[in-house]
């Protein structure tokens, strides 16, 4: 082999590796920033979503992306229930439980402060009607009830358990719900008239007779937030679109926040990496490339739903849309929602991956209303939602941290998406 040709190969290899290393380094930096305490979980306490939006807009400007009209911002509003003050939960006059680790307050809970008796409804009580009948409605109304179905034979009560908890059918002052798995938080657009405290089984004492708590909610009927949209002009008047949601769960009381590294700092960092790549091209791409970052996804796909009702260009001009959410792992491959619907495009992904060997597998899935692709899909837009598969399982909890998310196949998914774009 010619010595100069060999040196050129080494140079090209080192250059390519350096670009990839820079991509992953940049992605890490973005995720670290988005998941920092200063961003308050990118939710709707302390303007966490707005802080994140301002940070992301700096990248749009840095990459010199174009805007539809004179701004990258699309404003809208929705109702949200929040907990801006510190939350306190104490059992049996003992040490306070640790929020996020030992307990969570569901986001639809109302305000309550005080000390209340606890009525424990378990097999020792519920399987014996004569004992159950001794508990008066008046005592239940003044108490928190804890229902433990472990070992319970009362099938009727077990079958009704979820409704008893969800709707407080017994008319208790509040509910203590035992959680056996990770404590998952989901934001809410409404307030119910009783509180629920979800407590990890490991944090519950053997005997519980009292709960002291301070919960202060703040309901905001019209919380103003924004979608972020930018693009790179192409040669043809049609659009390829990449989307991700930048919002997360925010805070549950002062000092307790949900970082949201995998969900969805990972997807946001990928969209920014793609926007940076296309912004650096010396020649315009065949189709215009649009980058959309939505808020309100965790509230029920509200940002993307608002966008499809108020599009900045005709939805009919979208050639294809790829939504990226929870892409922080990947050692077990990727899953493609809507793969069964848009089979030709799915087969293209599979073919590219088979040739290049980017990820271990490209797995197919049918339609699902589980991320921001869905409002577009309902409007007839050809679209995928891609997420990664792996052992990383932190989700909607305080442990989905920037230093924990592995980004196992971030670079390979990045290359796969770039190759996919070239097929249009």
10 Å CB burial of residue 199 (0-12, 13-18, 19+) is: buried
Q: Is the peptide bond before 264 cis (omega within 30 degrees of 0)?
A: yes
Backbone angles phi, psi at 351, to 5 degrees: -65, -45
The pLDDT score that the predictor gives to residue 93 is 84
The reported pLDDT for the residue numbered 194 is 95
Low-confidence ranges of the chain (pLDDT < 70): 1-22, 126, 152
Look at residue 95 in the predicted model and tell me its pLDDT: 76
| Residue 331 phi, psi (nearest 5) | -65, -20
Tokens of 313: 């260009």
Question: Distance of CA 259 to CAs 39, 334, 370, 401, Å?
Answer: 8, 23, 20, 6
Dist CA 105 CA 286 (whole Å)? 50
**Domains, the chain, ordered by start:** 22-82+221-421 (3.40.630.10), 88-215 (3.50.30)
At 370-397, the pLDDT tens digits run 999 999 999 999 999 999 999 999 999 9
Q: What is the pLDDT of residues 315-362, one digit of tens each?
A: 999 999 999 999 999 999 999 999 999 999 999 999 999 999 999 999
pLDDT of residue 123: 75
Q: 3-class SS at 133?
A: coil
Describe the crossing of helices 48-62 and 266-279 by its angle, rounded to 10 degrees: 20
- How far lies 257's CA from each of 57, 101, 102, 208, 320, in Å? 23, 12, 14, 28, 35
Q: From residue 97, how far is each of 86, 93, 209 by CA, in Å? A: 13, 11, 15
Measuring CA to CA, which residue among 349, 385, 381, 382 is closest to residue 368? 385
What's residue 286's pLDDT? 97
CA angle (384 as vertex; 381, 388 as ends), nearest 5: 160
Q: For residue 24, how many other CB atoms are within 10 A of its CB? A: 15
> What does the CA dihedral 48, 53, 59, 61 come to, rounded to 10 degrees?
-140
Nearest in space to 323 (alpha carbons), one of 347, 307, 344: 307
CA dist., res. 270 & res. 26, Å (int) = 10
């Amino acid at each position: 082999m010619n010595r100069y040709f060999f040196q050129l190969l080494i140079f090209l290899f080192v250059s390519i590796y350096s670009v990839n290393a820079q991509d992953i380094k940049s992605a890490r930096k973005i995720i670290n920033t988005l998941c920092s305490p200063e961003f308050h979980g990118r939710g709707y306490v302390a303007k966490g979503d707005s802080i994140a939006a301002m940070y992301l807009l700096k990248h749009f400007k840095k990459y010199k992306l174009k805007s539809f009209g004179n701004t990258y911002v699309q404003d809208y509003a929705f109702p949200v229930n929040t907990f801006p003050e510190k939350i306190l939960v104490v059992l049996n006059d003992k040490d306070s439980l640790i929020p996020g680790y030992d307990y969570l307050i569901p986001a639809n809970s109302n305000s309550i402060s005080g000390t209340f008796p606890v009525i424990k409804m378990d097999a020792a009580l519920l399987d014996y009607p004569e004992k159950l009948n001794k508990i008066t409605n008046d005592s239940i109304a003044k108490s928190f009830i804890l229902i433990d179905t472990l070992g319970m034979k009362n099938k009727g009560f077990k079958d009704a358990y979820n409704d008893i908890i969800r709707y407080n059918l017994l008319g208790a002052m509040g509910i203590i719900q035992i959680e056996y798995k990770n404590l998952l938080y989901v934001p809410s657009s409404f307030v119910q008239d009783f509180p629920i405290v979800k407590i990890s089984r490991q944090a519950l004492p053997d005997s519980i007779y009292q709960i002291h708590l301070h919960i202060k909610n703040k309901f905001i009927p019209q919380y103003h937030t924004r979608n972020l949209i930018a693009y790179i002009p192409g040669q043809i008047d049609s659009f390829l679109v990449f989307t991700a949601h930048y919002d997360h769960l925010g805070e549950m009381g002062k000092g307790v926040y949900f970082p949201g590294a995998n969900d969805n700092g990972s997807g946001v960092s990928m969209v920014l990496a793609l926007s940076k790549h296309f912004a650096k091209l010396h020649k315009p791409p065949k189709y215009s490339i649009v980058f959309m970052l939505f808020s309100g996804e965790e509230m029920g796909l509200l940002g993307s739903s608002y966008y499809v009702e108020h599009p900045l260009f005709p939805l009919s001009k979208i050639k294809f849309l790829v939504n990226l959410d929870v892409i922080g792992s990947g050692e077990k491959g990727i899953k493609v929602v809507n793969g069964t619907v848009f089979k030709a495009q799915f087969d293209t992904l599979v073919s590219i991956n088979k040739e290049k060997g980017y990820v271990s597998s490209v797995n197919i899935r049918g339609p699902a209303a589980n991320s921001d692709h869905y409002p577009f899909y309902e409007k007839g837009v050809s679209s995928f939602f891609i997420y990664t598969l792996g052992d990383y399982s932190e989700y909607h909890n305080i442990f989905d941290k920037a230093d924990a998310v592995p980004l196992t196949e971030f670079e390979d998914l990045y290359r796969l998406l770039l190759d996919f774009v070239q097929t249009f």
